[in-house]
Structure 1
Amino acid sequence: MQFFAKKIKNSQYYSLGGLKMFEKKYYEIKLESVGGMGANLCGKLLGELGAMYLGFDSQSFASYGSEKRGSPVKSFIRWSKEKININSPITNPDVLGVFYEHILTKKGSLNGISDKTVVVINTDKDPDYVSNHLKVRKIYTIDCTKLMMETKSRLNMIMFGAIIKAIGFVKLEDCEKLVKETIGKKYPNLLEVNLTGLRRGYFDVQMKEFDVPESYVHQEVKQKWGYENAPLGGINPQIGSSVVNELSATRDGYIPLFIPERCIQCVLCDITCPDMVFQFREGEYKGRKMMVNHGPDYHHCKGCMRCVEICPSEALVAGVEKEHQNALYGKRNFDLIVDELEYETQGASSWITSESFYEREKVDGGIR
């Protein structure tokens, strides 16, 4: 899917800032995300911004699979003072926007970034912590999960604000006008919420500069097999919901918290779960020997929250993931020989789309 925004005649260039930043023919932005976070829309807004308010020839397109929530999404944006005559994915971005920090565990997500790449990342960590893993001169960090809960805004609006702050030559007022003309017309009831998220992203983002070797380029990660050397009849090693796939990269800030003393062993959670994460062992419930629910294996939980919605006894409540890091991986799949199992740091997702839980009251450390 592609979106093109053409340069508008008589548009004003920001010659004091923007044009000086073009050390090459194109100014390029790459967004790394997962389905459901709105990176595709954010990329379209950046494309329109370049054409309608910066006076550039502008191009925006996205790469994604079967439009599943949680599946990898990449969005590419190009701005140029001249006509854009290429249509290939961006390999050496000027700005890299990372919508979910766990996406960096996926192979190839850092391909092509150099010491000059400005990185904007959604994380609760500060730039100093991120710099231990990314060798770039400028790092911007923004805790989108926290701001989403405070403003009721969407993650992509907060990242949009943070990214335009990192670009450095874009006026916030122009971005506000763009949001009003696009999202405001389609969702007028959500306009003020989205504008609030945009402004908080712009003003709350943290930035720090670091000394790194010049011309430093992250080494490109390549698969052992590719389109050039894969044997005929070869297999896809990252199939569906393989048991070795670790699905944390598909969660968007919330996990189901299990409260054993409330569980009535109705197994509705197990029935609704698309990934069979709930673990059962022989035990006793109300004097009867039976298979007893011990809660989810978070390695395979994608955070769809269907179990929270269906649980009749509130034995499962929604919790903020970063507040429960120590308890996340204590329970492994009982049916596996886990001592010999290495989890892949990426995995498949499904078609599920669940609503957010921002307006629910807190219950036992979770959100009801």
Structure 2
Amino acid sequence: MESVRLPVVNQSGYYEIRLESIGGLGANLCGKMMGELGTKYMGLNSASFSSYGSEKTGTPVKAFIRYCEASKDIRVHSPVTTPHLLGIFHDALIQDHGIFSGCNSDSIVVMNTENNLEDPCAAANNIPSVKCVFTVPAQKIAIETHSRINVVMLGAMAKASGFIPIESVNKICEETLGRKYPQTLSNNLEGIRRGYNEVKRVELTLTGRTEISSEKETEAWGYQTAPIGGVNPRFGSSVISDLSASRQGYFPFFLKERCINCGLCDSACPDMVFQFQKGEYRGKEMMVNTGLDYYHCKGCLRCVSVCPVQALVKGVESEHPDKQWFLPNQDLIRVPDYYEAAGPDGYVTSESYLTEKRIEGGEI
């Protein structure tokens, strides 16, 4: 087996990759496949591991991969802080500056997004000065090919890296996914092919952009650094958390004209998304559904299941960037000036978001 030549390495002699995702999109498996790919099919030494919380699905997930020449040992097993290749699996993560931590002039960034980053937008402003940026509509491709976002991103990152052969990617897919899910192998291979072919490089104006340092100093709270009175303002609450990143491509689309204001959606919703206020319906004074707080919607689609008149239907979120009935929670004492990018999601537990049936109440 001929060894692949790494285009760039750090001072330790490693080529480093970091995957930023939310649980449920397959970044953990993608990281494992990239690690095995280097060892089995590219003649390199490699190491990979992932980092995620106890809830995993819907919460932040990171995967780390290191490559080096076969004659060298990998003796570093800490998280990747200065990636040569950064893969971002969900476009909601682009809003977070910390996602790009450690990126520099040697870094290649691959994003799953359908947005045109060449147009002026807030998301593009978060991208630091890097070597180049690639985008791929992985969500759209996965839906069309009945595959997964992780295999589409795997193909896209192979193309963007410039040294990972597509033939080797297909082989690791056949070995890893073909053995466990032989019935979906052709779909996954098609997802890889389209990700490889449809990823595109975007030209961004990097004037004034700087590198985002990966170093962060922290210190214990004391009388000089603790909040006044010793009150911890960061208590365990998700009331100002933006759960948008937990939605895996779909959201409840509200058809106001069909709604009979029965309240079943509000009863089924675990996150107080529906905003009912006093109003009039068919000549009677009653509580009327005035909209949805999509900040708190994590995309479990329970409301879609219980709606008796199909006033709530499953919609593809990328097709509705401006949600007509978006209404922030009116029961909050105050509406936050900003929502924190977060997303605990204990309901969506599927391995695939593309099937329609539910397994044990969890798979969508």
TM-score between the two structures when normalised by the length of structure 2: 0.85
Equivalence for 2:234 = 237
Deviation of residue 43 (structure 1)? 0.4
Determine the structure 2 residue equivalent to 1:196: 190
- Indicate the SS of the match to 1:327: coil
RMSD, aligned α-carbons: 2.7
Give the deviation of 1:268 after TM superposition: 2.1
Query: Which has the larger displacement, 253-262 or 53-62?
Result: 253-262
What residue in structure 1 maps to residue 289 of structure 2? 293
Residue of 250, 271, 276 corresponding to 2:246: 250
CA distance in 2, matches of 1:167, 1:254: 30
Q: Which amino acid in 1 is paired with 2:156?
A: A
1:31 is paired with a residue whose SS is: strand
* Contact 1:245–1:343 under 8 Å retained in 2: no
- 2:70 aligned with 1:70: no
- SS of the equivalent of 1:59 reads strand
2:47 aligned residue (59, 67, 78): 59
Q: Hey, what does 2:108 align to over in structure 1?
A: 118
1:187 corresponds to which residue? Answer: 181
Q: Aligned pair in 2 of structure 1 residues 64, 206: CA closer, same or farther (>3 Å)?
A: same
Q: Distance in 2 between matches of 1:277 and 1:215?
A: 37
Contact residue 27 and residue 61 of structure 2 kept, 8 A: yes
Q: Aligned pair in 2 of structure 1 residues 214, 304: CA closer, same or farther (>3 Å)?
A: same
Q: 2:139 aligns with which of 145, 152, 158?
A: 145
Residues 248 and 47 of structure 1: CA distance in aligned 2, closer, same or farther (over 3 Å): same
SS of structure 2 residue aligned to 1:113: coil
SS at match of 1:313: coil
Q: Secondary structure at the match of 2:348?
A: coil
SS in 2 for 1:42: helix
**Cα gap change, 1:321/1:158 in structure 2, threshold over 3 Å: closer, same or farther?**
same
Change in Cα spacing, 1:261 to 1:107, as seen in structure 2 (3 Å) is same
Find the aligned partners of 2:270 and 2:64 in 1 and give their Cα distance: 31
Among all aligned residue pairs of Structure 1 and Structure 2, give the percentage whose two residues are the same amino acid.
44
Change (3 A) 1:324 1:210: closer
Which consecutive residues of structure 1, in runs of 5 or more, have no partner in the other structure? 1-10, 361-368
| 1:40 paired residue among 28, 31, 37 | 28
- The letter of the residue matching 1:346 is A
Tell me if the contact between 1:176 and 1:195 (Cα under 8 Å) persists in the aligned partners. yes
Q: For structure 2, which runs of at least 5 residues remain unmatched after alignment?
A: 357-364
Which residue of structure 2 aligns with residue 8 of structure 1? none
Kept in 2: contact 1:244–1:342 (CA 8 A): no
Deviation at 1:292, TM superposition (A): 1.7
Q: Distance in 2 between matches of 1:111 and 1:238?
A: 26
Q: Distance in 1 between matches of 2:109 and 2:280?
A: 52
TM-score w.r.t. structure 1 length?
0.85
Deviations 1:314-361 (A, max 9, x none): 1101112232222267412122355x522323123221116677578x
Shift of 1:87: 0.9
Equivalent AA in structure 2 for residue 68 of structure 1 = K
Call closer, same or farther: CA 1:246–1:86 in 2, change over 3 Å.
same
